A and B are shown apart, each in its own frame.
Chain A
Amino acid sequence: MALEPTPEERQQRAFDILKHQARAAHGEGDGLRVGHLCEIALQEVRRLIDRQELLLTIRDIQWAFVFQLYWLLHGYAIQFTRQALQQVPRTSETDNAIFKILDAYAFFIEQPLMGPDKALKLLKELPISALGDKITPESTEVAVHLVELAWYHSVSTDGWQEVVQLWIQSGPTWLALLLKPVQERLGVQTRLTVPSKRKPPFHTSAAAEISNMSCLAELWLLHLYGRTDAILQRIKEIAPKVNPDDNQWRLIADFWHVNPPLSVHSPGDAQGVWLARRRQMTTAFPALVFNDRRELRIGELLGEIYRRGEEGLASYRWQVLQLAMLHELAALRIWDYGMWREAVRAQSETLLEAAKWMHDQPGWSAQGLVLGVRAISLGSAAKDSLVRSAIDHVEFAPQEILTGLSSDLFSTYPRQKHTASGLLDEVGDLVPPTLWPEFATWTATYAQESRENITSGLKLNPLKPWADILPLVSEDSSIWAVLKPEVIRLAQIKHCWQGDDRGVLWAWLMSSPLDAAQEVAEAMVSLSSVELGDSFFRADLLTSFERERPQVRKLVTRELAGRAQLPEERLLLARHLHDPTVGSIEQEVRSKTIRAVRDALKQAVPREGSTTFSFGPLILGMALLHDWPKENEPLLREIVTAVNSPGVLRNWIPTLLNWIQVFVAYGPGEFATLVQPSVGSWVEQLPLGREVPADTYGPFSIIQMRGIGSDDVSAAVGWICLQLLRKLNRAAHAEVQSWIQNTLLAGYEKTMPIAFYVAIVISTQTTGECHISALAAADAILAFLRLRMKDSQAAAMSLASALAHVAHTLRNEGSDTVDWKSNGAKATLKWLSNFLESHSPVLASACNPHLRGQLALLLWNMNRNELLPPSLTRMLEQLGTDRRAQVRLNAKGGEWELLRTRKTA
C-alpha cells in the first residue's frame, strides 16, 4: 500500500521544488524565472495562511522573500511581499530574528531616499547571526545585498563600512569571507561612481591597480578619463582571453563601442554591427535579458510620468527609484558600465521631474542634477524643462546644499565634466564664493581636458559662468591668475568676440586687474588674420574697454585702426580715436549700407514663382549710423512698400521692420509721419508676408526657423511704436494704444516687454484718462507675466526684460524717451513704487535669477535717483545678498557702478 504523506511533508516537498528551481535560476541570473517562482510560492503561502494551514517556518520559505525582492520588477511586489511576510506565523526567537532581517530588507528597497542615519541605525540593530551557520544561496544573497543597500544609502558618510565591520564580528563565520571582497569592491566603486571631496576621483594611474579586481574596472576608469587609445589597446589584450560566449565579452565590447577608433581606416565593425551584436548577445544571457526588461519597465514608468504630467504619481516615482537603485547595484556587481549609467540616469530624471512639484527638499533636486552629470545624461536647462525646474528648486537651497552640489560637480571625471560644465553655465554664479578658487581650477582643468578631447564634448567658451562672477572677484584673488591663460585663449577665438560668448571677455576687460585686462586685449589684437566682420566686433569690444577704463589709453585701438579694412570698423575706430576722417568714412558706410539694403529688398520680395529664399544679412551700418537725413526717404519708402508687398517672404518681415525702426529712430520727424499710416494698418493686421517655399517650421520640419512668428513681427511693430512715441509724442498715441491692446489680447509673451515699455512711455506723456488707461495696460501686462512666470520660463524672462526697459530709462540721465520730471512721469513713478511695494516680495523670490537681477537693477536705479520709497530699501538690501552673483551685482548697480568704483580708485 502506498504511504500517504503528511500535509507538512507535502508542503515541504512542494515548496522545495520551487526553492531548488529558484536557487538555480538565481545562480544563472534568470531573474524573470525567479520572479515567477517566487510569485507562485508567495501566493500559496498567503492562501495557506488564510486557511491556517501553513506548516512551514519562515526559514523554510525565506528564499521566496529574498529572491522576490532581489529580482524586483514591479513595485507592488514589495508591498505584497511585506504583507505576506508579516502574516507568516512566528513561533520562535529565530523566526522573529529572520523576520526582522527580511522586513528590513524589504524596507531598504522600498525607501530609496532613506537618509544615511536612519539606514545605519536599522542595519546595526539587525540580528544578523540569525542567518545561521549553514550557508544558503538566499542567506548569502540577503547579507550581500543588505551591505550593497547600506552602501547605496550611506555612501556619502561611509557609514556602510561600520555595518560591514559589525557584521563580520557578530555574524556567522561565513559572513566575513563573503563580505570582505564585497567591501573591497564597493570601496573602489565609491570613488569610481560617487566621487566626492572626501572620496575623490581616482587618478588615471590607478587603472592598472584596480584591474586586479576586474579588467572591467580598469576599462571603466580609462573610459572616465577619455583614454580611448589605452582602452582600445587593453581590449585588444584582454579580448583574445575571453570566450565570445561569455557575458563579460559583451561588457568589454561596450567599451569598444563607446570608444570607437577615431580613424575610419581602423579595423573593426560598423556601429550598426556593434549594436545589433550587442542586442543579440543580450538575448543569450538571462541576466542581461532581465536587466533589459527592468530598464524597459523603468522607461515605461518614466514615460507614464512624463505623459500624465501631474503631481499625484508618487507610486510611479517610487517604483522608478526602487528599480533604478536595484539596477545600479546589479550593474556594479557585474561592472556593467552602460547599465550603471542607465540606472543613474533614471534616478536623476525621477528626482528632476519630482522637483516640478516639490516645495522643500532641494537636496533631492541637487542630487538629481549631480546624478545626471555622473550619468552624462543631463540636458541643457534651455531645452530640458526637468533640468530647468530642478535648477529653480535649488535656487534658494541652503548654503550647505549649494556647497555640496558644487563640490560634487567639481569631483567629476573628465568624461563627466562637459555635462557638469553645461550645468555650471546655468548655475555657476550659485556656487558659494568660498568655492570660487576651486571652481576656477576646475574650469581651467576642464578647458584643458576638452582640448585634449577626453571630455564628452567641446566648448569654445568653457568660461561662460564666469561672466556673472568676475565683476565680484577681488583684484587680489588668485582666480585671475588661474583663469588668465584660458581667457587669453578665448580672446584669440574670433567667434567669441560677439554673441553670448562676448560676456566673459567683457567682464574680464572691465573687472580684472588692469595688467590682466591689457594682456587679454593684446591677445585679441595679436590675431592678425581675421574676417572683416569678426574684426568689427573686436574693435567694438576694445573701444568699449578703452572708453570705460581710460587708464589703458588707446594703444590697442590705434594698432587696430592702422590695419582696419572694413568701413564700419574704420568708422568705429575713427570715432573712438576722434579721427578727422570720420565724416568721409561715415559717408562711405552710408553708401554701402544703402546698397546693401536695396540688394536685400530684392531678396525679400523675390520674383513670382521663385523657389529659393534667403535670410536677412547683418548690415552693420544699420547699427552704426545714428543719423538718417531726409534725402534717404525714398529708401524708407521702398522698405515700407516691401513690407506691404504681397510677395514679401515671411522670414524677412522682422528684419525689414527693424530697419524701419532704425530709420524712424535716427531720421527726421517726417519719417515717423511717413510710416505712421502703415503702422496703423499693421497694428490692425500684422504683416506676415507669404510662406517661405520650403518646410521651415512645424513638428515635421527638419529645419526650424526661429524669429519669424507673429509674436516676433508684433514685437518689431512695437519697437516702431516706441520710436513713433519719441518722435510724434501724443500724435502717435492712437496707433500705439491700439497695438498695446492687440498685444494683450494676443497674449504674446515675447511682445509683452516692449508693450510694457511703450505703456509706461505713454503714461509719462499724458495725464487723465489716457494716463490711467496706459498704466492699466502696464498693470495688466505685469500681472499677466507674473501669473505665467511660474510655468513659463519665457514669461519670467519677458518680465525681466520689461523691468530692464524701465530700469534703463531711469539710468540714463536726460533720456529722450521719458521726461521723468513731467507730471505724468511723476504719477507713473508713484504707480511703479506702489506696484513694486505690492509685488517685489514675489519677484524677489522668483526662481529666475535674471528676473531678480533686473528687479535689483530697477530698485538700484530708483534709489540712485532718490525715487526709492523706504519700504523698498530693505528689498534692495536683501537682493544685495542674493545667492546669485548676477543679482548681487545688479543690486549694486551692475557693471556700471563697479566701473565707477574702479575709475574713482
Chain B
Amino acid sequence: MRLLPDPDLSLRDASDFIFDSPLGRRALVDPQPRCLAVFLREVIQSIYRLTLSCHLPEFTDHGLGHLCSLIDRVSRWTAIGSDSNPIRVIEHSNFRPDEAAILLLATLFHDIGMLSQRPEDLPVDSTGAAGRPLKDLPSWVRSTHIQRMEALIRRVFATTEFNDLLDDPLILRSLQVARAHSTWPWDWKSFGFTGKDEGLAAMLAVADLLDEDALRCDSSTLLRHRYGTPVNCAHWIRHGLTIGRVLILQGIITVELGRPPGTDSQIEPVFIALRNHYQLVRVYASQLAQAGAGILRVVFNPPDGVPLVEVRDLQHWSEIPEFHFQSALVYHLLESFMPQALLDERRCSSAVIQRLTKLGLSPVDLTDFYAIRGELAPRTSLEQSFHALLNSP
C-alpha cells in the first residue's frame, strides 16, 4: 500500500507523491499545454510556501498534506462493477488525460484561498472588496477563499513565465471545477460546465467531503498544545472520530468510527450527524456518474449507535475548559457540523431537508443543542460553552 506523505511534509516529498500518483501520471501522459508539468511543480511550490507562512493556526490542514490526501483518494477511487478486476476511475479509457489534468489542477487550486489573507484578491464587484467588514480574520478567510482563488493564483504567477498560461482553456476549466466545491450540486447551473467537468467537480467535492478522517490532523497534539476556539477544538476532535482512511472502492465508501474515551450514549447525536455528513456524498450521485465514478453506498462500522472503540488520541478532550463534561463535548461537536448534516430545519430550507431525507440522512434531535445555542436570540460562543457545561439552558 502506498503511504501518504509524512504530516511534516517537505516540498519534495509532496511533489514526488503528486507526480507519482495515478492522477498525476494520467494528467501528464500527453500534456496540453506542454509545460503543464513545470507549471504543476510551480503550483505545488507556491502552495508549500503559502502553507509555511500564511496558514492560520485556527484551521485544520489546507496545505499539501490535505491535497495529497485528496489526490490519493481520487487516484484510488475504483469504479462500480469490477469486483474481480477493480478499475480506477481515472484510468478508465473514457477518462481522458486532459480531464485528469483539470481534476489535478482543480484539486491543487481548490483551497489555495485558505492560505492567503489579502482582500485585494477579491473581485472588484465583491461586496467585501473594500476590506474585512464585520468579520474576524479566520471567518473572512473561510468565507471568501473561493472568491479570492483566481486572483490569488494570477497574482502568484503575475511575474513568471506562466502569466499567459493562466488564460489557457484547460486552466480556466480547472478553476471553474475548483470553484464548484463550495456549493451544492443543485446550484451548479450557473457554472455552465462543459463536457465531463461537472463530474470532475463532483469527484473533487466528494473527495474533499470524505477528507474527514484522523489523518487530516494531529488531534492529540492540537488539543493539548494549540490555542483554539471551541469550534476549532471541536473540529480537531471530530477528525479523530473517523479511524483510518476513507476510500471509495467499487462505489462503496467504508467508514470506521470510534468514540472519545469516557463518553456514552449521550454522544449518539454526534455520530448520527457524522454519518449524515458522510451520506452527503450521495447528493453528487448523478454528477459523479458523468465521470464514471458512481457511488453505491456508505458503509459504517458500527452501522449505528455509539462505537465501542475508544480513540486514545482523544483521551484529553475533557482538559479543554469549555468541553470538560460530555454535555459540552456533544454541543461543541454538533456546532462543528454543517447544517445539512444535522438536517437542521432552522438553517436549511424544507426542500433541502426533504431531498436529504430521501437520500437516507437521519434526523438529529437538536432540542438540547438549540437550548444551549440560544433558542430565542443568538448567544456568543462563550455563553454557549457556559450553558453547555452547566447543562442548564
A residues near B, CB below 8 A?
1-3, 5, 10-11, 13-18, 20-21, 36-37, 40, 44, 48
Q: How far is the CA of A229 from the CA of B389 in the complex (A)?
A: 59
Whether A13 and B266, one on each chain, are in contact in the complex, defined by CB atoms closer than 8 angstroms, is no
Residues of B within 8 A of A44 (CB): 386, 390, 392
CA distance A20 to B262 in the complex (A): 25
Q: Given B264, B266, B321, B325, which contacts A10 in the complex, CB threshold below 8 Å?
A: B325
Residues of B within 8 A of A17 (CB): 321-322, 382, 385-386, 389
Q: How far is the CB of B233 from chain A (nearest CB, A)?
A: 13
- Which chain A residues border B322 with CB–CB below 8 Å? 17
Residues of B within 8 A of A40 (CB): 382-383, 386
Residues of A within 8 A of B386 (CB): 14-15, 17-18, 40, 44
Taking CB atoms and an 8 Å cut-off, the chain B residues in 313-327 that contact chain A are 321-322, 324-326
Contact B390 A2 (CB under 8 A): no
Q: Say yes or no: B264 contacts A2, CB within 8 Å.
A: yes
Supply 21 A–B pairs (Cβ within 8 Å), ascending by A: A2-B264, A5-B325, A10-B325, A10-B390, A11-B390, A13-B324, A14-B389, A14-B390, A16-B321, A17-B321, A17-B322, A17-B386, A18-B386, A20-B321, A21-B382, A36-B380, A37-B382, A40-B382, A40-B383, A40-B386, A44-B386
Closest-by-CB residue of B relative to A41 is B386
In whole Å, how far is A285's beta carbon from the nearest beta carbon of chain B? 18
Enumerate B350-387 residues with CB–CB distance to A below 8 Å: 380, 382-383, 385-387
User: Which residues of chain A come closer than 8 Å to B325, judged between CB atoms?
Assistant: 5, 10, 13
Known: A14-B390, A40-B383. 9 other contacts (CB 8 A): A2-B263, A2-B266, A14-B386, A17-B389, A18-B382, A20-B321, A40-B382, A44-B390, A48-B392
Task: Using CB atoms, name the residue of chain A closest to B321.
Answer: A17
Q: How distant is B380 from chain A, measured CB to nearest CB, in Å?
A: 7
Task: Compute how far the CA of A44 lies from the CA of B389 in the bound complex, rounded to whole angstroms.
Answer: 13
Residues of A within 8 A of B326 (CB): 2
4 pairs of A and B residues whose beta carbons are closest in the complex: A14-B389, A14-B390, A2-B264, A2-B262
Question: Which residues of chain B are near A14, meaning CB under 8 Å?
Answer: 386-387, 389-390
Shortest Cβ distance from residue A438 to the other chain B in the assembled complex, whole angstroms:
59
Find chain B residues with CB under 8 A from A11 CB: 390
Structural contact, A10 and B389, CB atoms closer than 8 A:
yes
Interface residue B290 (Cβ < 8 Å from any Cβ of A)? no
How far is it, in angstroms, between the C-alpha of A678 and the C-alpha of B274 when the chains are bound? 101
Which A-chain residue is minimally distant from B327 (CB atoms)? A10
B residues near A37, Cβ cutoff 8 Å? 382
| Chain A residues, Cβ within 8 Å of B387 | 14
B262 close to A10 (CB less than 8 A): no
Tell me the chain B residues, 6-31 only, with Cβ under 8 Å from chain A.
Answer: none
Shortest beta-carbon distance, A51 to chain B, in Å? Answer: 9
Output the least CB separation between B299 and chain A (Å).
28
B391 at the interface (CB under 8 A from A): yes
Of B266, B380, B383, B385, which is in contact with the most chain A CB atoms at under 10 Å from its CB?
B383
Q: How far is it, in angstroms, between the C-alpha of A733 and the C-alpha of B380 when the chains are bound?
A: 82
Min CB–CB distance A501 → chain B (angstroms): 57
**Contacting residues, chain B, for A1 (C-beta < 8 A):** 264
Chain B residue total in the interface (Cβ 8 A): 19
In the assembled complex, the Cα of A15 lies from the Cα of B321 at a distance in Å of 11
With A and B bound together, what is the CA distance between A11 and B387 in angstroms? 10
A3 to B263, CA, bound (A): 8
Shortest Cβ distance from A807 into chain B, in angstroms? 71
- What is the CA–CA distance of A829 and B75 in the complex, to the nearest angstrom? 119
Which one of A10, A15, A18, A20 contacts B391 once the chains associate, using CB atoms below 8 Å?
A: A10
**Residue in B closest to A3 when the chains form the complex, CB atoms:** B262
Contacts of A2 in B (CB 8 A): 262-264, 266, 326
Look across to chain B and name the residue whose beta carbon is closest to the beta carbon of A33: B382
A873: min CB distance to chain B, Å:
75
Identity of the chain A residue whose Cβ is nearest the Cβ of B388 in the assembled complex: A14
Q: What's the nearest-Cβ distance from chain B to residue A283, in Å?
A: 14
What chain B residues lie within 8 Å of A10 (beta carbons)?
Answer: 325, 389-392
Which of chain B's residues have a CB closer than 8 A to the CB of A48?
392
Q: How far is the CA of A37 from the CA of B386 in the complex (A)?
A: 10
CB distance from B57 to the nearest CB of A (A): 19
CB-based nearest B residue for A39: B383
A48 to chain B: closest residue by CB: B392
CB distance from B258 to the nearest CB of A (A): 15
Which chain A residue shows the least CB distance to B379? A40
In the complex, what's the smallest C-beta–C-beta distance from B133 to chain A, in angstroms? 14
Q: How far is the CB of A55 from chain B (nearest CB, A)?
A: 11
Residues of chain B within 8 A of A21, CB atoms compared: 382
Bound CA span A452–B20, Å: 85
Q: Which residues of A contact B266 (CB under 8 A)?
A: 2
* Chain A residue nearest to B389 in the complex (CB): A14
Which has the most chain A C-beta neighbours within 10 Å: B262, B380, B382, B385? Answer: B382
Among B263, B382, B389, find the residue whose CB has the most chain A CB atoms closer than 10 A.
B389
How far apart are A252's CB and chain B's nearest CB, in angstroms?
A: 30
Contacts of A15 in B (CB 8 A): 386
Nearest CB in chain B: distance from A5 CB, A: 5
Nearest-neighbour CB distance to chain B for A35, whole angstroms, equals: 13
Shortest CB distance A479–B (Å):
66
CA distance A5 to B389 in the complex (A): 10
Contacts of A36 in B (CB 8 A): 380
The reply to whether B262 and A13 contact each other, CB–CB distance below 8 Å, is no
A14 and B387 CA atoms in complex are apart in Å by: 7
Chain A residue at smallest Cβ distance from B259: A2
Q: Complex: how many Å from CA A706 to CA B214?
A: 84
A16 CA / B391 CA spacing, docked (Å)? 14
The distance in angstroms between the C-alpha atoms of A21 and B324, with both chains bound, is 16
The chain B residue sitting closest to A44, CB to CB, is B390
Minimum CB–CB distance for B191 against chain A, Å: 41
CA A1 – CA B263 in complex, angstroms?
A: 7
Q: Using an 8 Å CB-CB cutoff, how does the interface string of B201-212 with A read, 1 for contact, 0 for none? A: 000000000000
Which residues of the other chain, A, contact B263 by a CB distance below 8 angstroms? Answer: 2
Which residues on the B side are within 8 Å of A18 (C-beta)?
382, 386
Q: Nearest chain-B residue to A51 (Cβ)?
A: B392
| Distance between A525 CB and nearest chain B CB, rounded to angstroms | 72
Distance to closest chain B CB from A656 (angstroms):
63
Bound Cα distance from A48 to B386, whole angstroms: 14
Which residues of A lie under 8 Å from residue B382 when comparing CB positions? 17-18, 21, 37, 40
A264 to B262, CA, bound (A): 73
In Å, the complex CA distance between A346 and B175 comes to 60
**Complex: A36 Cα to B386 Cα, angstroms:** 13
Q: How far is the CB of A36 from chain B (nearest CB, A)?
A: 7
The CB with the most chain A CB atoms within 10 A, among B262, B263, B383, B390, is that of B390
- Assembled-state Cα–Cα distance A36/B390 (Å): 18
When distances are taken between beta carbons in the complex, the residues of chain A under 8 Å from B383 are 40
A16 vs B264: C-alpha distance when bound (angstroms): 25
A816 to chain B, nearest CB (A): 81
Question: Chain A contacts of B391 at CB under 8 A?
Answer: 10
Binary interface encoding of chain B residues 245-267 relative to chain A, with 1 for a CB under 8 A from any of its CBs, else 0: 00000000000000000111010
* Residue of A17, A18, A48 ringed by the most chain B CB atoms within 10 A: A17
For the complex, give the distance between the alpha carbons of A221 and B386 in Å: 47
A18–B382 Cα distance when bound, in Å, is: 8
Q: How far is the CA of A44 from the CA of B392 in the complex (A)?
A: 9
Closest to B391 in A: A10
State the CA gap A14–B326 with chains docked (Å): 13
Q: Which of B259-317 contact A (CB under 8 A)?
A: 262-264, 266
Docked CA distance A10–B393 (Å): 13
* Cβ–Cβ < 8 Å partners of A20 in chain B: 321
State A17–B386 Cα separation when bound (angstroms).
Answer: 7
Across the interface, name the chain B residue whose C-beta is closest to A9. B325
Taken together as a complex, chains A and B put the C-alpha atoms of A616 and B52 apart, in Å, by 82
Closest beta carbon of chain B to A17's beta carbon, Å: 6
CB-CB nearest in chain B for A36: B380
* Interfacial chain A residues near B389, Cβ < 8 Å: 10, 13-14, 17
CA distance A9 to B103 in the complex (A): 53
CA distance A48 to B263 in the complex (A): 27
Please, how many angstroms separate the alpha-carbon atoms of A2 and B326 in the complex?
Answer: 8
Within the complex, the shortest CB–CB distance from A4 to chain B, in Å, comes to 8
